[in-house]
A = this chain, B = another copy of it.
Amino acid sequence: MKIVECVPNFSEGRDIDKIERIMSVVKTNAFIRLINYESDADYNRTVVTLVGEPDKMVDLILDLTKICLQEIDLNHHSGEHARMGAIDVIPFIPISDISMAECVALSEQCARRINEKYDIPVFLYAEAAKKPERELLPNIRKGEFEGMKTKIQESEWKPDFGKPEIHPTFGTVAVGARDFLIAYNIDLATEDENPAKQIAKAIRKSSGGFQYIQAGPVYLENRKHTQVTMNILNYKKNPIYRIFETVRMEAKQYQVEVTGAEIVGLIPKDALIRSLKYYYKSQKIAFPENISFEMIVEDARKYLLFRDFNETKIIDYFL
């Protein structure tokens, strides 16, 4: 069964009643699983995490667009987070049995339907971008709701769907496809920040390391040790085991032990399976065919030293 994740961000994070009226559309949907939603009052923005079948997902996004159109008027919106639309951004993320190309096609279909039904101009971004300068959302969004009124009329900022004119209350929205981002931290049993700093430099893209790794050092005041804190932007090309084993190898020269690791937020089952297979293969053990969530959690603790980890951190567990 094809499963896609979608993480729409809408521009209301303060008015609880309004947020709940918007979320009721999601909560009453029988087909799509709501993983969680988080509102930030300073940002005045809510981030919703959804998983389910591709077609049902697009249907729900259309419903969500309708309710946001009714509830939100960007002419009366302010917050610390940049925004250009009542729904600001809609990324589709492959989770299971679905390719990036399919997610790009899905985002195009979603964009077309939003435009046709509600006359909202739509930009395609990330993997769905039609021009390199539209790959990064901040490039598109620069100027925000207020600036988009004129920016959208410039020939190079013509929307991918719709006429070059923002919706008077909704604004405009970016729809696209991207890979799942894993927030991953590795514990180093030292209070000295230097090893974490040197190791982060060794593995991250910006200083010559792996292509899809962002990394930095951090000291955890409460836990009294340091971490290499990371984003894995593509877990297929930079699997967790490779990062974990490389960090372990680098740590040796500082006589520092790697004592644990953690996932912040969620992780796809596929990302865990890919990495656990490395350890099974290295020991010449056949990988269990229908491995249970319980077993995955146990193995992740054993081989990847995951702490504070259980089934509810695995997206697929909710399906």
Contact = CB atoms under 8 A, between A and B. Distances in A.
B282 A238 contact: no
Interface stretch (A61-69, A203-211, A222-230): A203-211
A77 interface: no
A208 B212 contact: yes
A318 interface: no
Contact of A237 (B207, B234, B249, B282): B207
A202 B212 CA distance: 12
Interface in A218-246: 234, 237-238, 242, 245-246
A277 B242 CA distance: 23
A210 B210 contact: yes
Interface stretch (A35-43, A116-124, A251-259, A304-312): A251-259
- Chain copies in the assembly? 2
| Chain A: interface size category | 20 to 34
Interface of A: 202, 205, 207-212, 234, 237-238, 242, 245-246, 249-250, 252-255, 277-278, 281-282, 284
Contact of A249 (B207, B210, B249): B249
Given A202-B242, A246-B246, A237 B208 contact: yes
8 contacts: A205-B211, A208-B210, A208-B212, A208-B234, A210-B210, A246-B246, A252-B281, A253-B277
Contacts of A282: 252-253, 255
A177 B237 CA distance: 32
Given A210-B208, A212-B208, A242-B202, A253 B281 contact: yes
A253 B238 contact: no
Most buried by B among A242, A277, A281: A242
A237 B234 CA distance: 22
